[in-house]
Structure 1
Amino acid sequence: MSSGLLLAAALLLWPGRAALRRERRRWLSPRADPAPRLGARVPLPALAAAATGGVAVLLSTPLVAVLAGGCAALGARAELRRRVGLQEEARVTALVEALTALGAELRGGRSLEEATRAAVAACADVDSGRALARAVRSPGDGGPGADGELGRVLARVAAAARLSARTGCSLAAVVGAVEDDLRARSRQRLELRSATAGSRASAALLAGLPVLGLVMGGGVGADPWHVLTTSPTGQVLLVAGVGLEVAGLAWSARLVSRAAR
């Protein structure tokens, strides 16, 4: 049983394809730090699993350590996804401000080069400003090289720049349309997030009920934790309970994320 649990924990910690692509781009980037810190070399889920499992194995059984390490890794992965989402939203917000400046400068009669410099200066995120400049100045060099919503927006800007260069149409009008679409998407995202806040809170409350049950059982002298960690039947129930808990949280998060799209 212990070898199977260790194999399951290793599979949970194995990075996905998207993480491997991001890591490859980071190491191939010329701006990469030649001597990265430990936190940059070791993934956060692995660190969380090792630290939590190490503490748990000192306080309880190896089975509890494996389960605690796996749950810590899953929690760290969820936190990383949340941080990436917030970072992408901040970059898109900065890009909206840059597009506002670009459209205003073009409508004011400035040249494309001058308007691009003004837009880059108005962008709060340096990387987003540089990507926007590449999309406008060199729209046919293979794309801006960004992922997610930011990449889609920059691809639209690059397509608008190519169309303007080939046909002579106004670039300011297309930039204004992209900006309006981004602002509408941002408002819709905030409304959906507010609408699903109750569901997320309910899922978090239900996830904490088993812990409350253990505390209440210990308070009346039943000692359920000792039964779950020492007896064979209790260990099977502990593994099944943790598995169902993780599956329920994952399914709830999936439903909420699909509703918020």
Structure 2
Amino acid sequence: MTAAALWMSLAAVVALWPVGVPRRRVHAATGDDGRPGARGRSSRIDGWVVGGCACAVGSLVVVGTAAGVAAGIVTAAVLRHRRRRRRERARDAELDAVLDAVTVIVAEMSVGAHPARACRQAADDLARRPSAEGVAPTLEVVTAMAGRAELGGDVAAGLQSVGGERSHAWARIGVAWRTAEDHGLPMADLVQSVRDDLVARRRFAERTRAALAGARATAAVLAGLPVLGVLLGEAMGARPVAVLLGGGLGGILLVVGVTLVVAGLAWTQRITDKVMTP
């Protein structure tokens, strides 16, 4: 039983182990995944994973099977939450870089610069701050735009084939680019309208995130009520901690309770994510 619980705890954490692209794994020894601004990121993430594994295994060995399984579940939930927050910050940083690049492109074309020259200027501006988060994927797209425009290629097709977190933003810019080319409309005005739409969507997301702060805080408080009940029981002399950590029915109740709390938080997060989807 102890061995099975140990494997369950480790599996819960390993299932959320951050997996990078092959290029990142190849450069793991140097802490560089080949992109600007990514140095040192893998070691920081691995430290949290190792700490979570140590917490789960330590609880299993020192306290007991039920405590080890519960600690593994909590550790997996915490790591999952941290990964989600990192993805949110990365998406926001990448959108900032996209908006900066589009602003330069529009400004250059507004004063009569050729689209290829405008894209090249935007790429040069992004290249001056390679360590900033979110710049690397945007720099790659803008550089490709400049190359296609200089060689007379299909810039719109290249933008619509961009993948990643901000593929929808580049797809909208590609539609505006193709519309301007096909119908002879001012490209700067169309691209500017797309930028304004992206800014409006971001402001809406920020307002929605602020409006949901109360609901998220309520969910966190409700998740902490069982812990408060256990502490009150200890203060009254009922010894709930000894029951929960003593194995048997108490251990089952501990694992079931922790699982329900984590599932409730995950479900709340899923509901709020649906609201946040533009």
Aligned residues: 254
> Tell me, what secondary structure is at the counterpart of 1:132?
helix
Pick closer, same or farther for the CA change 1:59–1:34 going to 2, 3 Å: closer
Q: Residue 91 of structure 1 aligns with which residue?
A: 94
Q: Kindly indicate whether the alpha-carbon contact (under 8 Å) linking 2:177 and 2:191 is maintained by their aligned counterparts in 1.
A: no
Q: Please, which runs of 5 or more residues in structure 1 have no aligned partner? A: none
Q: Kindly indicate whether the alpha-carbon contact (under 8 Å) linking 1:67 and 1:242 is maintained by their aligned counterparts in 2.
A: yes
Report deviation, 1:171: 2.6
> Tell me, what secondary structure is at the counterpart of 2:21?
helix
CA–CA distance in structure 2, aligned partners of residues 24 and 155 of structure 1: 26
Residues 1:132 and 2:142 aligned together: yes
Q: Residue 35 of structure 2 aligns with which residue?
A: none
| Structure 1 residues 164-201: Cα deviation after superposition (integer angstroms, max 9, x where no partner) | 55665433123112201110111100110111000000
> Tell me, what secondary structure is at the counterpart of 1:222?
coil
Residues 1:40 and 2:50 aligned together: no
Report deviation, 1:143: 5.8
Q: Kindly indicate whether the alpha-carbon contact (under 8 Å) linking 1:196 and 1:256 is maintained by their aligned counterparts in 2.
A: yes
Q: Which range moved further: 158-167 or 115-124?
A: 158-167
> Tell me, what secondary structure is at the counterpart of 1:79?
helix
Q: Residue 102 of structure 1 aligns with which residue?
A: 105
Q: Which range moved further: 232-241 or 121-130?
A: 121-130
CA–CA distance in structure 2, aligned partners of residues 44 and 171 of structure 1: 48
Pick closer, same or farther for the CA change 1:231–1:77 going to 2, 3 Å: closer
- Normalising by structure 2, what TM-score? 0.78
Which of 53, 58, 66 is matched with 1:55 structurally?
58
Percent sequence identity over aligned pairs: 30
CA–CA distance in structure 1, aligned partners of residues 230 and 91 of structure 2: 39
CA–CA distance in structure 2, aligned partners of residues 66 and 105 of structure 1: 59
CA–CA distance in structure 1, aligned partners of residues 22 and 88 of structure 2: 20
Q: Residue 37 of structure 2 aligns with which residue?
A: none
What is the letter of the counterpart of residue 256 of structure 2? A
| Structure 1 residues 58-106: Cα deviation after superposition (integer angstroms, max 9, x where no partner) | 5421321222122112211111111111111111012112211111110
Report deviation, 1:14: 2.1
- Larger relative contact order (C-alpha < 8 A, sep ≥ 6)? 2
Pick closer, same or farther for the CA change 1:142–1:92 going to 2, 3 Å: closer
Q: Kindly indicate whether the alpha-carbon contact (under 8 Å) linking 2:66 and 2:254 is maintained by their aligned counterparts in 1.
A: no
Q: Following superposition of structure 1 onto structure 2, how do residues 1-261 of structure 1 map, counting pairs within 5 Å?
A: 2=2, 5-6=5-6, 8-9=8-9, 10=11, 13-15=14-16, 22-24=20-22, 26-27=24-25, 32-36=27-31, 40=42, 46-57=49-60, 59-123=62-126, 125=132, 126-127=135-136, 128-138=138-148, 139=155, 140=157, 145-148=162-165, 150-162=166-178, 164=180, 169-261=185-277
Report deviation, 1:109: 0.4
Report deviation, 1:244: 0.9
Runs of 4+ aligned structure 1 residues displaced above 6 Å come to: none
RMSD: 3.0
CA–CA distance in structure 2, aligned partners of residues 209 and 25 of structure 1: 45
CA–CA distance in structure 1, aligned partners of residues 109 and 196 of structure 2: 16
